[in-house]
Chain A
Amino acid sequence: MDPEQINEFVVGYLKKKGFSSAAKDLESYHHQNNNGSSFTSVDYHNDPELTKLIRSFSQQEDDPTRYREGYSKLRSWAYNSLDLYKHELLRVMYPVFIHCYMDLVGKGHTQEARTFFNSFRKDHEMVHLRDLQKLEGVLSPSHLEEMEFARSLRKSKVNIKFCQYSYELLLQYLHSTVSTLMLGIINEHINFQVYSGQPTSSSDDIEAVTIVGSFQDTANHINQKEIQWGLLEDSLEDRLEKTGGLLSDSEKGQGESKDGDADDSKKRSTEIGKQGSSLKKLKKDKAGNATAKVARLETITVSPAPRVKPELALPVMSTDVEQSILEDLRNRVQLSSVAMPSVSFYTFVNTHNGLNCSSISHDGSLVAGGFSDSSIKVWDMAKIGQAGSGALQAENDSSDQSIRPNGRRSYTLLLGHSGPVYSATFSPPGDFVLSSSADTTIRLWSTKLNANLVCYKGHNYPVWDAQFSPFGHYFASCSHDRTARIWSMDRIQPLRIMAGHLSDVDCVQWHPNCNYIATGSSDKTVRLWDVQTGECVRIFIGHRSMVLSLAMSPDGRYMASGDEDGTIMMWDLSTARCITPLMGHNSCVWSLSYSGEGSLLASGSADCTVKLWDVTSSTKLTKAEEKNGNSNRLRSLRTFPTKSTPVHALRFSRRNLLFAAGAISKPAN
């Protein structure tokens, strides 16, 4: 720090404190002294206390324009720096920007804060738009205290990975220009993780652009925990593998014909025909099934999915349910990037903008819709299929449609909630419907009795989502009160409460082995929770907006999450790292579903498309990626546009038929 600078500080301080005459004297003294230039007798450089003091003076000097000057200087310097290191240096800009802004607000310079914010907002809009929108509203020191997001930002430090040279560059700049203010902010809020070697490419490091609250460190810490992502021992699929090869062909044929009978909707039966035809191919596979499957598993995951013990007491499955599931699994169509699934689309018409959610049962025969008028409607597609053309004719009639010739509605109306229904899901066998609503309750309905069985109260705010566990009986819910809860059907109190998200928990999904649940939140993270202990075991950071949908791969190794911007991220559960973002949708991803054997991922979005993604190749490529660095991968397989119908729900049936549902957004004609 050179003497002139110190003089300036001292003079400024005196002036501020009202000793204007003293300041003047000092100034004139220095003037003379400078000509003489024999001032320095004390070693300022080696006195950290003094430097600190001076620095604090400089900050106390209440000049809001200094922030602007300092920031714009730093900005132009970063933009003009070497291309190789530029993107690393630019990462510093955002934390500095928001902290400058919050400093200004905190000191009460609202006007200056606003102009500062607006003049540099453009730089960060692309990546941090939503954060900026939140921060924009902060206009007084009390808001800083009140707003969770701002508070966590103030408290926390941002981790930024820097290569050695970029770090040196930055320090050099800050020292040479004596921009103490910027240095202060950077010291206070940024934690540099300096590594030796070449800088990484800009697109690679997602964490670099996401600023989360204080839990960046804790996240890393949490993610060290061990998780058992394997499948349950003695799962049905295992049993199928054991028994599948032994089944005689005649038995299979019988099963097939039985299916034909059981299948009620016309369309489904045609589909079964198709599945039957592809079954031949399947049978061929079956011969060497066990070896083939193991081989496939090996190609995907190197080692076959490990088996784990269930931590919950799981319900016993009745034998006929088990049989039907086994039957389905046996008749499953093998899907891959060359063998695409068929998609059956259920379009809701005349919803009058009231459809909040929809859900399809595991066999696709039941469809439920939750409406903003608190009602839930359940359609039995099997019956509609039987009514067949009669139903269609009734639709064309201008007369009252809701009452069929036989005097009945085409759906079952479930009334009980007292607020918009935000989710409705079927239990795996399809005998129960679980619904959650803005009235803070979760209700359990029986599809056989068409009546409400239980009302679960516990959340204090609207319940956004509720999901049955893969084996039924247990279910998870999540709410605006920032918690997720685990329930069992026979108790009206929650079994576990998962707290930790910084904002609303928007969606919840069970891990296939029932030991974990994943929650997606408005704080832009996804967390994985241990059901038994209620602890958070993984935090997935990388989304840039609210997480709306989650799906777990059937082998339990991967998870997909979709957000408000249309980005889908594939996560590896064990490492908590994003394998790859899947870009393609340009609006909210409402729904995600893995195909039965986990080779395809289907996504449904508000942009009125269903997309199919090849996720086997993505996982394969990550192996390659480990060797030869990052490559930009695109593996959207197909896009199926609908006629202006946003896709609300998706479900792969056990036989790998894809069901999709949505409400047509434009009234016909």
Chain B
Amino acid sequence: MSIVPKETVEVIAQSIGITNLLPEAALMLAPDVEYRVREIMQEAIKCMRHSKRTTLTASDVDGALNLRNVEPIYGFASGGPFRFRKAIGHRDLFYTDDREVDFKDVIEAPLPKAPLDTEIVCHWLAIEGVQPAIPENAPLEVIRAPAETKIHEQKDGPLIDVRLPVKHVLSRELQLYFQKIAELAMSKSNPPLYKEALVSLASDSGLHPLVPYFTNFIADEVSNGLNDFRLLFNLMHIVRSLLQNPHIHIEPYLHQLMPSVVTCLVSRKLGNRFADNHWELRDFAANLVSLICKRYGTVYITLQSRLTRTLVNALLDPKKALTQHYGAIQGLAALGHTVVRLLILSNLEPYLSLLEPELNAEKQKNQMKIYEAWRVYGALLRAAGLCIHGRLKIFPPLPSPSPSFLHKGKGKGKIISTDPHKRKLSVDSSENQSPQKRLITMDGPDGVHSQDQSGSAPMQVDNPVENDNPPQNSVQPSSSEQASDANESESRNGKVKESGRSRAITMKAILDQIWKDDLDSGRLLVKLHELYGDRILPFIPSTEMSVFL
């Protein structure tokens, strides 16, 4: 009948003290209530329009009630929108979410800041029909320029296949800006000012028209100034700022920027002085590369594959200088551990054998060469280490007790059985924590402690258990693999039984996957250990390490 159900009318009647409202009367009233509400809303919308707004507020409704000579409803004109909550158990019942406020808190709270007074700010929205690119104006659409060229092309038609040069108007201000930035980049003096300039580059809107000029500038200067270390560094900073600027749409210019960045990464020689820390520049460029790949890899599908191909070629060419190898390794490492695993670790053994003679002071007399070789070795170690670290890090946040237990061969059941127990205990304690804290102040630190445990990865909870069982830790990695292989199914069965049936199936799938991954990384770890010896160990998370050892 009416969208206002008769129950609502009854509730309203009760709320104003009419208890003996007949159901028929309520039924008759309902359509009228709906009509009145609509009438009020119609007037409220008028008030809203005349207040030049597009959102209805409580004051508009008050205004509408005033128009109808009805007492406005006081206490709602607080400005902000209301938060309505659904009453639990009722489909269409809502109430405003009023929090209880403690008087003491209100009185003790510092006075809020006085609201700022109204001001007028004046700017040019357009100058002779053209919007100036100033921060006050909305950023110009990137699409507009191509649209104009399209019109040009259409005008020319298919008859002449000559593209008219697009008239590109660059305002005086922008020209000056570009000149200043270019000067600063070239001058290498006044670093604080240059820093400010970089911040401006990274945040200002309206710089978009300059992007092609900047890319051009960077490409030119990088190819010319390979000997000038400071300049290269400055240019890379500009690239980073441009990438950071949210108002700039840099994607179409990436193909121009990438060669410069990659040059700074894998060039044979960067800077001409001995003191130039070109390693740092290479690291910086590597970070840029990873940033670009992360941001635009999805849009620009060929980007990462092309980049990795370049880098791998640089790495695997024994004729290339060690500095180039270093850059390539850093670049690949910055692309994430999957890339490292696939491209570096697969080639690790032959490469290390190649590097071996260079490392040795007896065989290689040139001190510089040795230094470089160690640098490369360090980079390789870091890449491999981060890779293995990343892989091992996957496990802790998983809901199941770490499958690394499976390495341990014997006594698994025991550990697993203790583990959920422990976890449950810690969860319980964290749940009960607040009452505990209130009731028994003595218990305070304990509660906090248990919360700490439950808050962090379950791995940590396991720690004491492992320490309790020193014999297991001494199992050789290789044998552990075999042993766990053999015991895999059995252990899983045991596991399934112990964990609840509801979780059993998902658990099994997860365990399967993890087991496979874990096997891989276990092998990898072993291999790395063979190659690097103890140097790899710092990269391995402590618990994994304890397992490994």
Residues of A within 8 A of B (CB): 110-111, 114, 133-134, 136-140, 143, 265, 267, 274, 339-353, 355-357, 367, 369, 371-372, 377, 379, 381, 384-385, 395, 400-402, 409-411, 420, 422, 438, 461-462, 464, 480, 504, 506, 522, 546, 548, 564, 587-588, 590, 606, 610, 612, 637-638, 640-643, 646, 648, 660-661
Partner pick for B120 among A348, A356, A637, CB 8 A cutoff: A348
Tell me whether A357 and B118 are in contact (CB under 8 A): no
Tell me whether B125 and A610 are in contact (CB under 8 A): yes
Q: What are 13 sample pairs from A and B whose C-beta atoms fall under 8 A apart?
A: A114-B1, A134-B42, A139-B2, A140-B35, A341-B126, A372-B59, A379-B120, A395-B121, A410-B119, A462-B67, A480-B67, A506-B46, A610-B125
- B216 proximal to A (CB < 8 A): no
Contacts of B138 in A (CB 8 A): 641-643
Q: Tell me the minimal C-beta distance from B108 to chain A in angstroms.
A: 23
Contacts of A587 in B (CB 8 A): 54
- B101 proximal to A (CB < 8 A): no
Given contacts A110-B2, A140-B31, A420-B51, contact A347 B126 (CB under 8 A): no
Tell me whether A384 and B120 are in contact (CB under 8 A): yes
Given contacts A342-B124, A342-B128, A356-B51, 5 further A-B contacts (CB under 8 A): A139-B1, A139-B31, A343-B126, A395-B119, A546-B46
Q: Tell me the minimal C-beta distance from A265 to chain B in angstroms.
A: 8
- B157 proximal to A (CB < 8 A): no
Tell me whether B52 and A643 are in contact (CB under 8 A): no
Q: Tell me the minimal C-beta distance from A661 to chain B in angstroms.
A: 8
1/0 per residue, CB under 8 A from A, across B416-456: the answer is 00000000000000000000000000000000000000000
Contacts of B120 in A (CB 8 A): 346-349, 367, 379, 381, 384, 410-411, 661
Give the residue name and chain of the B residue nearest to A591 (CB). Answer: B52
Of the candidate stretches B109-117, B261-269, B306-314, B539-547, the one touching chain A is B109-117
Which A-B residue pairs are the 3 nearest by beta carbons?
A340-B129, A402-B117, A139-B31
Inter-chain CB contacts under 8 Å: number:
173
Tell me whether A401 and B52 are in contact (CB under 8 A): no
Partner pick for A640 among B35, B47, B117, B131, CB 8 A cutoff: B131
Q: Report Cα–Cα, A357/B47, bound state, in Å.
A: 12
Tell me whether B67 and A461 are in contact (CB under 8 A): yes
Partner pick for B128 among A274, A402, A641, CB 8 A cutoff: A274
Contacts of A347 in B (CB 8 A): 120-123, 136
Q: Report Cα–Cα, A384/B121, bound state, in Å.
A: 9
Tell me whether B118 and A348 are in contact (CB under 8 A): yes
Tell me whether B121 and A350 are in contact (CB under 8 A): no
Contacts of B114 in A (CB 8 A): 400
Q: Report Cα–Cα, A267/B124, bound state, in Å.
A: 9
Contacts of A438 in B (CB 8 A): 63, 66
- B512 proximal to A (CB < 8 A): no
Tell me whether A110 and B31 are in contact (CB under 8 A): yes
Q: Tell me the minimal C-beta distance from A364 to chain B in angstroms.
A: 10
Contacts of A110 in B (CB 8 A): 1-2, 31
Q: Report Cα–Cα, A345/B53, bound state, in Å.
A: 19
Tell me whether A564 and B115 are in contact (CB under 8 A): no
Q: Report Cα–Cα, A351/B120, bound state, in Å.
A: 10
Q: Report Cα–Cα, A546/B131, bound state, in Å.
A: 32
- B156 proximal to A (CB < 8 A): no
Q: Report Cα–Cα, A505/B42, bound state, in Å.
A: 15
Contacts of B116 in A (CB 8 A): 349-350, 401-402
- B49 proximal to A (CB < 8 A): yes
Q: Tell me the minimal C-beta distance from A645 to chain B in angstroms.
A: 9
Tell me whether B124 and A344 are in contact (CB under 8 A): yes
Tell me whether B119 and A349 are in contact (CB under 8 A): yes
Give the residue name and chain of the B residue nearest to A546 (CB). Answer: B49
Tell me whether B124 and A139 are in contact (CB under 8 A): no
Given contacts A267-B122, A372-B59, A420-B63, contact A138 B35 (CB under 8 A): yes
Partner pick for B54 among A111, A137, A350, A588, CB 8 A cutoff: A588
1/0 per residue, CB under 8 A from A, across B36-50: the answer is 011100100011011
Contacts of A385 in B (CB 8 A): 122
Q: Report Cα–Cα, A661/B138, bound state, in Å.
A: 16
Tell me whether A143 and B50 are in contact (CB under 8 A): no
Q: Tell me the minimal C-beta distance from B111 to chain A in angstroms.
A: 13
Q: Tell me the minimal C-beta distance from B248 to chain A in angstroms.
A: 17
Tell me whether B125 and A369 are in contact (CB under 8 A): no
Tell me whether A344 and B128 are in contact (CB under 8 A): no
Give the residue name and chain of the A residue nearest to B51 (CB). Answer: A356
Q: Report Cα–Cα, A548/B129, bound state, in Å.
A: 26
Contacts of A265 in B (CB 8 A): 122
The interface residues of chain A, by DSSP majority, are classed as mixed
Q: Tell me the minimal C-beta distance from A657 to chain B in angstroms.
A: 10
Contacts of B115 in A (CB 8 A): 350, 352
Given contacts A480-B67, A638-B126, contact A350 B119 (CB under 8 A): yes
Give the residue name and chain of the B residue nearest to A111 (CB). Answer: B1
Greatest chain B CB density within 10 A among A139, A351, A372, A384 is at: A139
Q: Report Cα–Cα, A480/B44, bound state, in Å.
A: 12
Contacts of A267 in B (CB 8 A): 122, 124
Q: Report Cα–Cα, A588/B54, bound state, in Å.
A: 8
Tell me whether B128 and A345 are in contact (CB under 8 A): no
Tell me whether A377 and B137 are in contact (CB under 8 A): no
Contacts of A367 in B (CB 8 A): 120
Q: Tell me the minimal C-beta distance from A537 to chain B in angstroms.
A: 26
Tell me whether B49 and A377 are in contact (CB under 8 A): no
Tell me whether B126 and A139 are in contact (CB under 8 A): no
Give the residue name and chain of the A residue nearest to B4 (CB). Answer: A139
Partner pick for B35 among A137, A420, A462, CB 8 A cutoff: A137
- B276 proximal to A (CB < 8 A): no
Q: Report Cα–Cα, A423/B204, bound state, in Å.
A: 37
Give the residue name and chain of the B residue nearest to A265 (CB). Answer: B122
Q: Report Cα–Cα, A37/B299, bound state, in Å.
A: 81
Contacts of A342 in B (CB 8 A): 124, 126-129
Interface residues of B in 79-134 (CB under 8 A from A): 79, 114-131
Tell me whether B35 and A548 are in contact (CB under 8 A): no
Q: Report Cα–Cα, A342/B129, bound state, in Å.
A: 6
- B32 proximal to A (CB < 8 A): yes
Greatest chain A CB density within 10 A among B51, B57, B63 is at: B51
Q: Report Cα–Cα, A355/B127, bound state, in Å.
A: 27
Give the residue name and chain of the B residue nearest to A400 (CB). Answer: B114
Tell me whether B122 and A351 are in contact (CB under 8 A): no
Q: Tell me the minimal C-beta distance from B40 to chain A in angstroms.
A: 10
Tell me whether B52 and A357 are in contact (CB under 8 A): yes
Given contacts A139-B34, A356-B50, contact A341 B122 (CB under 8 A): no
Given contacts A350-B119, A438-B66, contact A643 B128 (CB under 8 A): no
Contacts of B53 in A (CB 8 A): 353
Contacts of A402 in B (CB 8 A): 116-117
Q: Tell me the minimal C-beta distance from B65 to chain A in angstroms.
A: 12
Q: Report Cα–Cα, A612/B126, bound state, in Å.
A: 11
Give the residue name and chain of the A residue nearest to B38 (CB). Answer: A137
Q: Report Cα–Cα, A351/B2, bound state, in Å.
A: 40
Partner pick for B79 among A340, A353, A369, A642, CB 8 A cutoff: A353
Q: Report Cα–Cα, A274/B129, bound state, in Å.
A: 13
Tell me whether A504 and B35 are in contact (CB under 8 A): no
Tell me whether A139 and B49 are in contact (CB under 8 A): no
Q: Report Cα–Cα, A379/B67, bound state, in Å.
A: 31
Q: Tell me the minimal C-beta distance from A423 to chain B in angstroms.
A: 8
Tell me whether B122 and A504 are in contact (CB under 8 A): no
Partner pick for B50 among A114, A381, A401, A506, CB 8 A cutoff: A506
Given contacts A110-B1, A114-B1, A638-B126, contact A409 B35 (CB under 8 A): no
Contacts of B34 in A (CB 8 A): 137, 139
Tell me whether A381 and B122 are in contact (CB under 8 A): yes
Given contacts A139-B34, A139-B35, A640-B131, contact A345 B123 (CB under 8 A): yes
Q: Tell me the minimal C-beta distance from B202 to chain A in angstroms.
A: 17
Interface residues of B in 6-44 (CB under 8 A from A): 31-32, 34-35, 37-39, 42
Contacts of B79 in A (CB 8 A): 352-353
Q: Report Cα–Cα, A411/B42, bound state, in Å.
A: 35
Give the residue name and chain of the B residue nearest to A545 (CB). Answer: B49
Contacts of B39 in A (CB 8 A): 137
